[in-house]
Chains A and B, each alone.
Chain A
Amino acid sequence: MLKTFFKTLSFAAVLSASLASLPAHAEEKSEFKVCWSIYVGWMPWGYLQDSGIMKKWADKYDISVDIVQINDYVKSINQYTAGEYDGCSMTNMDALSIPAGGGVDTTALIVGDYSNGNDGIILKDATDLAAIKGQNVNLVELSVSHYLLARALEKVGLSEQDVTVVNTSDADMIATYATDDVTSVVTWNPLLSEIAANDNATLVFDSAGIPGEIIDIMMVNTETLANNPAFGKALVGAWYELMGIMASDTDEGIAARTAMAEASGTDLAGYDAQLASTAMFFTPDKAVEFTKSAELPETMKFVAEFLFDKGILGEGAPSPEFVGVSFPDGSIYGDSANVKLKFDTTYMEMAAKGEL
């Protein structure tokens, strides 16, 4: 019995040690890991790793950066939040609710793009958004799709009480659209264009109706970044080098876009079509200008209120202002004693000035 007891005890010790060792240790270090998942605006991350551009920039600053693709978007954010990665690509909304809401101090390092039609609402056999009233709406609950729906309903004077939201996995979205009891879906590209191609489908609202609100960002751990400026410089440098290549219609640019298209399961034309509904910031100037714009604090307020309304803004959040968000001009939305999400243009500005 004593032996069993000690066995159990040592097992418990191993278990707790392995669970406890997960948090990222924020000291100066030379090896970094960032993660990303499949999305039109994030495909460059995979290409950076494959093409060696990332390695070139990491070598310049004498560090190593590993860019890892994760199949499941939410899982990638969760792993970043758990401390497995130093950075991860995600939207402004998920960054606020998951890492920032969970107390992981997070900085928006590269504001990459915003959705400008990439997310949309599709109705079956109806052509007007107002017809959505009373319907079941299939979407990934608590995602940007849900946010898009809430904003769209506001615009036609409806509220979420007027519809029934059915949580539906994005993996099953196309199959569910084919069933009779599904009459409306909210989803994102490439699923969106796939479903919109059905004869009975009409795209009644898309993110172009709320430009600049669904933002795709490379988020990094604030502490890691503060202790390791080289990490930020290498990522930003590599990113904007590739942006320059991607935006050009040279052979190199087309080759890069073709590789990204293939990696996301489409062809060059398909990828270019998705890029057309994405407002990519190909130059650091554009990204800095957007991040410093007066609209961004307004957007984050909308987002925080949405998250609070759904009860997902952090542990027992008493108000939408529970998690503080800081902006490049030093202003803060929310609790200034609990600023966990920081929009910081320092590194993007370095890129704009060619100082990297």
Chain B
Amino acid sequence: MRIINRTLSRRAAILLGSTPFALLIGAYAIASHLRRIDNPADKLLPSLSSMGDAIWRMGFEADKRSGDYLLWLDTVDSLSRLTVGIFISTLLAVGLGISIGFIPHIRRGLAPFVATLSLIPPITILPILFIIFGLGETSKVMLIMIGTAPVMIRCVSQAVMEIPRELIIKAETLGASTWQMITRVVLPQVMPKLITAIRLGLVPAWIFLISAEAIASTSGLGYRIFLVRRYLAMDVILPYVAWITLLAFILDRLLLMASRRAFPWNHLSGDSL
């Protein structure tokens, strides 16, 4: 049988899927061990156990100075910034995306502008954001929003334009007003695409969250990484990176599951990543 037609048992799939992870951890452990033969207190590649200690210290021991549990404090602060930023972007994507995709006047008026906005590298206008929105939470949320909204808007309006013309004409024949078509035809068709847009938006959103926290902050996952970077505390940085990756992964899977649950008709074509 050709290899492309062979399927795997669930057990084999899990085994195969976890092999690269195991190899990576193994390679790290070897490299770390070799470096620690030279210098037992090596900071660059700390041992897995010292990373475990660091996670324990950050997550389950109150900070000497403030009494906070730093890992959880950072996680809550970062996730709330991310949520607010993505929430605003989503509202914009729905409102502007549908208007641009569905109403030619608005499309002609706004589409080139949104396309141009989406090409501005957000990091470059960060100093301007500071001056306008200050250094507090607003500028961090704004950075996430500016970094994600334009692309999400374009994604949604494209989805609106791809709705089969026949459907719209059918609705018009039945006497639907523009507003009725938006709420009854366009919105339901676009919802799964919106979820995809959010999933795609989350990727840059994390980058901008971390960048914003690196600049001026008193808490957050990115703040902590950039703070301890100063004294090369890889034992904190590496677990934090793993934690951020895990959070991002969970968010992504939850959105996928929500989409499958709510819009099963959109997932009929089979496997999706």
CB distance from A60 to the nearest CB of B (A): 31
Q: Are B44 and A82 in contact (CB under 8 A)?
A: yes
Select which of A16, A138, A141, A181 is within 8 A of B227 by beta carbon. Answer: A141
CB distance from B80 to the nearest CB of A (A): 18
Q: Are B135 and A316 in contact (CB under 8 A)?
A: no
**What are 24 residue pairs bridging A and B, where the CB atoms are less than 8 Å apart in the complex?**
A5-B19, A15-B27, A16-B28, A16-B34, A17-B31, A19-B45, A20-B34, A74-B230, A82-B232, A98-B232, A101-B231, A102-B39, A102-B41, A102-B231, A138-B216, A142-B231, A143-B230, A164-B218, A166-B218, A167-B217, A168-B215, A169-B215, A316-B50, A316-B57
Q: Which range holds the interface residue count of chain A?
A: 35 or more
CB distance from A35 to the nearest CB of B (A): 15
Count of chain A to chain B residue pairs whose CB atoms are closer than 8 Å in the complex = 132
Contacts of B15-37 to chain A: CB distance below 8 A? 16, 19-20, 23-24, 26-28, 30-31, 34-35
Select which of A169, A310, A316 is within 8 A of B214 by beta carbon. Answer: A169
Q: Are B44 and A315 in contact (CB under 8 A)?
A: no
Q: Which residues of A contact B226 (CB under 8 A)?
A: 167, 169
Counting from the closest, the 3 A-B pairs by CB-CB distance are A103-B41, A12-B27, A102-B43
A8-B20, A97-B231, A311-B64 are known contacts. Are A172 and B42 too (CB-CB below 8 A)?
A: no
Q: Which residues of B contact A8 (CB under 8 A)?
A: 19-20, 23
A19-B31, A169-B215 are known contacts. Are A102 and B232 too (CB-CB below 8 A)?
A: yes
Contacts of B47-87 to chain A: CB distance below 8 A? 50, 53, 57, 63-65
Q: Which residues of A contact B38 (CB under 8 A)?
A: 23
Select which of A167, A176, A312 is within 8 A of B130 by beta carbon. Answer: A176
* Binary CB contact string for chain B from 214 to 236 against chain A (1 if under 8 A, 0 otherwise): 11111000010011111111010
Does more than half of chain A's interface fall in helix, strand or loop, or is it mixed?
mixed
Q: Which residues of A contact B231 (CB under 8 A)?
A: 94, 97-98, 101-102, 142, 312
Q: What separation, in Å, do the CA atoms of A253 and B40 have in the docked complex?
A: 46
Q: What separation, in Å, do the CA atoms of A101 and B42 have in the docked complex?
A: 9
A15-B31, A142-B231 are known contacts. Are A104 and B64 too (CB-CB below 8 A)?
A: no
Q: Are B41 and A315 in contact (CB under 8 A)?
A: yes
Q: Are A166 and B135 in contact (CB under 8 A)?
A: yes
Q: Are A103 and B229 in contact (CB under 8 A)?
A: no
From B16, B24, B39, B231, residue with most partner A Cβ within 10 Å: B231
User: Which residues does B use to contact A, with CB under 8 Å?
Assistant: 16, 19-20, 23-24, 26-28, 30-31, 34-35, 38-46, 50, 53, 57, 63-65, 127, 130-131, 134-136, 214-218, 223, 226-233, 235
Q: What separation, in Å, do the CA atoms of A251 and B207 have in the docked complex?
A: 51
Q: Are B130 and A172 in contact (CB under 8 A)?
A: yes
Closest residue on chain A to residue B3 by CB atoms:
A1
Closest residue on chain B to residue A13 by CB atoms:
B27
Q: Which residues of A contact B127 (CB under 8 A)?
A: 172, 175
Q: Are A179 and B44 in contact (CB under 8 A)?
A: no
Q: What separation, in Å, do the CA atoms of A5 and B217 have in the docked complex?
A: 44
Question: Does A350 make an interface contact (CB < 8 A)?
Answer: no
Q: Are A78 and B216 in contact (CB under 8 A)?
A: no
From A16, A94, A138, residue with most partner B Cβ within 10 Å: A16
A167-B217, A168-B215, A169-B216 are known contacts. Are A181 and B42 too (CB-CB below 8 A)?
A: no
Q: Which residues of B contact A310 (CB under 8 A)?
A: 65
Q: Which residues of A contact B215 (CB under 8 A)?
A: 168-169, 172
Beyond A15-B27, A169-B215, A179-B131, 5 extra complex contacts between A and B, CB < 8 Å? A9-B23, A23-B38, A141-B230, A168-B135, A310-B65
Contacts of A71-127 to chain B: CB distance below 8 A? 74, 77-78, 81-82, 94, 97-98, 101-104
Question: Does A178 make an interface contact (CB < 8 A)?
Answer: yes
A12-B27, A181-B135, A315-B50 are known contacts. Are A175 and B230 too (CB-CB below 8 A)?
A: no
Q: Are A22 and B23 in contact (CB under 8 A)?
A: no
Q: What separation, in Å, do the CA atoms of A168 and B134 have in the docked complex?
A: 13
Q: Which residues of B contact A169 (CB under 8 A)?
A: 214-216, 226
Q: Which residues of B contact A178 (CB under 8 A)?
A: 130-131
CB distance from A179 to the nearest CB of B (A): 5
Q: Which residues of B contact A101 (CB under 8 A)?
A: 41, 43, 231
Q: What separation, in Å, do the CA atoms of A166 and B23 have in the docked complex?
A: 40
Closest residue on chain B to residue A174 by CB atoms:
B127
